[in-house]
Amino acid sequence: MQTIFFIMAALLYAVCAFLPARFKTAISLGTAFGWLLHGAALGADVIVPGAVRIGFAVVLSATLWVSVAAYWLENRNFSLDGLRVLVLPCAALAVLLPAIFPGSVVPLSAKSSLFPWHIAIAILAYSSLTIAAFHAVLMALQESRLHGRQGAGKDSWLDAAIDRLPALLTMEKLLFRLIGFGFFLLSLTVLSGIVFSEQLFGIPFQWDHKTVFTLLSWALFGLLLAGRYLRGWRGKTALSFTLSGFATLLLAYVGSRFVLEVVLHRSLA
């Protein structure tokens, strides 16, 4: 049943991504219904009696599920229709991945009761910083368009979406709000992973590729927020740090799990 829900959610996301902006109500309702189907299928797929299913596809799908909710809510407060053209196509692809790459089942009997909370906070951190990365891409396109030739590409679908974005200063405020929230959650993830590693994962703290990439991403986002507060960093500097931090965070779990599960065919969580 969850496979059917995944397919239906993907179709709704795809249709809503490419509908003209004048169908605002249909886009909002379709996105909300797709999000509900996505969440129901994801919950049925992840929650196994006495265990949870974890893998790169599940984490990526859950990350985009939360990102769609963030877009939907933000779009009700600000005119962020341009974000739709990036978030929903990515969500349409990510929603199908758990059906193709199911990951592995991790029994909860040997884990601490904090383990599900650690996973949930980590996914929320991923999601907040993912939507921040989408924001950064839109801001880069928006800035490029402002400095480009007037009238060039006016009729293109993407350019029309970019034209509907709020002013760059508003986009920048939203970006740093998302980064601040995501950094707080990522800090909780890192701290709990280091301090409670043996209770959470059944093994002492280890310096592996996942830890190194996560700490590097945490340092990049922390440096960006410090630079914003102390030196007023903005513009291209802020966008570069945001995208670099996101790419590093993506490598920390999703990228490494993809290699282990798909390339090396290892099922360890």
* Residue pLDDT, tens place only, 17-28: 988 888 889 999
Please indicate, yes or no, if residue 73 is contained in any of the structural domains. yes
CA distance 172 to 14: 27
Confidence at residue 220, expressed as pLDDT on a 0 to 100 scale: 95
Closest CA to 23 of 83, 101, 81, 71: 81
> Per the domain annotation, does 41 fall within a domain?
yes
Give the tens place of pLDDT for each residue, 182-229.
Answer: 999 999 988 887 776 666 566 666 777 788 888 999 999 999 999 998
Number of domains in the chain: 1
Provide the domain limits for residue 195: 2-263
Looking at the domain assignment, is residue 101 inside a domain? Answer: yes
Q: Please indicate, yes or no, if residue 253 is contained in any of the structural domains.
A: yes
Q: Looking at the domain assignment, is residue 269 inside a domain?
A: no
Is a pLDDT exceeding 80 seen at residue 103? no
CB distance 60 to 254 below 8 Å: yes
Note whether residue 103 is domain-resident. Answer: yes
CB 257, CB 56: distance < 8 Å = yes
Residue at 226 is within a domain: yes
pLDDT in tens, 225-248: 999 989 888 888 889 999 999 999
- Residues 147-191 have pLDDT tens digits of 765 545 455 667 777 777 788 888 888 899 999 999 999 999 888
Q: What is the pTM of this model?
A: 0.81
More confident position, 114 or 205: 114
Q: What percent of the chain has pLDDT over 90?
A: 31
| C-beta separation of 133 from 71 below 8 A | no
Q: Does residue 119 lie within any of the structural domains?
A: yes
